[in-house]
Structures are given as C-alpha cells and as structure tokens.
C-alpha cells in the first residue's frame, strides 16, 4: 500500500508491519468466532465508522435473505479507550445501516452480522489484559458489560437504521455490483501500470 511504500522508501519499518512486534500469532481457537462488532467493543482504538447497506430479497418466498456490503470509513479523530468494553452507545455512534427492501427492518433476522455475546466479550477482554501489553493498564468494567445481551444483536441497533422501501432492490443491487467490479478493474490496472513502470 502507499503508506508502507512511503515508509520503506525512507528506510523505516511501516507502522503496521509484522516486524513492529505487535503481531503475536493467531488468536486461540475459542476467540476465532468473534464477530467484528465484538472486536470493535473490545478495541482500545476506534478509527473507523461503518455503513452497512442491506438489500432484502424481493422474492416473497425468501424474505430473510439479504444481500449487501459494509464499508469502513476512516475517521480523522482516533478515539482511545481507557475503560472497556465500549458501551453500546459508543459502538452505535460508529454504525449506520441503510435497509432497502419491501419489508420492515427486523434485527432478529440479521443472523450473526451484528451479534454480540456478553460472556465472549468478557473472556476476550480478560485474555487481552493478560496477553497484550497494550491492554495491561485498561480498566475492565463489569457494569458496562451488563449493558450487552447474552446472545443477540447489539442494543440500540434499530435506532441506527435508515429504511428505504421505494427502491427496486434487484436493480439497485445489480447496479452497485457493476460499479464495484469497475472500481476493482481500475485498481488492478493502476497496480499493473505501476509495476510495469518499476514503482512497485
């Protein structure tokens, strides 16, 4: 990426390189099913906001089938936590969902996409505190943890939803897929050109 290339050009180790000592291998098997929302709840630094676009199936026989994507947008302000887990309000402030479809948005139909599990969050934070030096001084608050469900979507998610029942779901989704393919094509063409010019 451009950031790594710039650092290497100055004979410096890139900030996110494996050589900086922050990578310590794979997570234990127990944590491999953490959802991205659970990871965000446990993160010291919050640098992105997420916008999910969900398209409900227009097939009446499959009302629970969704298509879509989630885009992560970098923020100029980096939020650093001194107490974890982050509250549901903190996380919801960084989430938006645009729901396009004929039906009403129902969080219980989302499956694991925005799933949080109170016990999994607690065990992960305790593990991080003992195994990651960045977490050694972080205060873990049981009271905040009690704001989360045992196993359900993140509280307050419904308030982060913008519903659109007017658009033709199939047409809009297909148009966006074409746009995405053309963006990928342009990206790989740029990479190939830079490689041919010896810039990469």
Please tell me whether residues 14 and 46 are part of one structural domain. Answer: no
- pLDDT tens column, 113-131: 889 999 999 999 999 999 8
- 152 and 181 belong to one structural domain: no
pLDDT of residue 58: 63
Tens digit of pLDDT for each residue in 58-114? 666 665 566 666 777 787 666 688 899 999 999 988 888 877 777 777 777 777 888
Rounded CA-CA distance 154/147 in Å is 9
Measure CA 69 to chain center: 11
Same domain, 89 and 128: yes
Residue pair 84/140 in contact by the 8 Å Cβ criterion: yes
Reduced to 3 states, what is the DSSP secondary structure of residue 173?
helix
Question: Is 19 in the same domain as 59?
Answer: no
Q: pTM above the 0.75 mark?
A: no
Domain count of the fold of the chain: 3
SS3 content of the chain, % helix, strand, coil (to 5): 40, 20, 35
- Report which secondary-structure segment, H or E, holds 181: helix 169-196
In terms of residue numbers, what domain contains 181?
A: 168-200
pLDDT tens digits, residue range 7-60? 888 988 887 777 776 666 778 888 899 999 999 999 998 888 888 877 776 666
Residues 162 and 176 in one domain: no
**Whether 140 and 47 share a structural domain:** yes
My answer on whether 16 and 114 are in the same domain is no
Identify whether the C-beta of residue 51 lies closer than 8 Å to the C-beta of residue 98.
yes
Residues 154 and 186 in one domain: no
Is 130 in the same domain as 173?
no
pLDDT at site 85:
97
Residues 12 and 86 in one domain: no
Pair 58, 92 in one domain: yes
């Amino acid at each position: 990426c451009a950031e790594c290339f710039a650092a290497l050009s100055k004979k410096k180790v890139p900030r996110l390189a494996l050589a900086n000592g922050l990578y310590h291998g794979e997570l234990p098997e127990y944590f491999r099913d953490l959802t991205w929302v659970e990871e965000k709840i446990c993160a010291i630094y919050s640098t992105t906001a997420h916008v999910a676009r969900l398209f409900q199936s227009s097939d009446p026989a499959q009302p629970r089938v969704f298509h879509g994507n989630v885009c992560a947008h970098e923020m100029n302000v980096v939020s650093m936590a001194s107490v974890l887990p982050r509250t549901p309000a903190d996380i919801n402030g960084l989430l938006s969902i645009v729901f396009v479809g004929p039906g009403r948005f129902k969080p219980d139909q989302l499956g694991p996409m925005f799933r949080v599990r109170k016990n999994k969050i607690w065990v992960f934070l305790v593990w991080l505190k003992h195994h990651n030096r960045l977490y050694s001084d972080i205060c873990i608050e049981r009271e905040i943890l009690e704001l989360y469900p045992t196993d359900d979507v993140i509280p307050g998610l419904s308030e982060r939803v913008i519903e659109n029942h007017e658009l033709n779901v199939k047409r809009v989704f297909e148009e966006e897929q074409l746009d995405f393919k053309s963006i990928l094509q342009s990206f790989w063409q740029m990479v190939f050109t830079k490689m041919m010019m010896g810039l990469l």
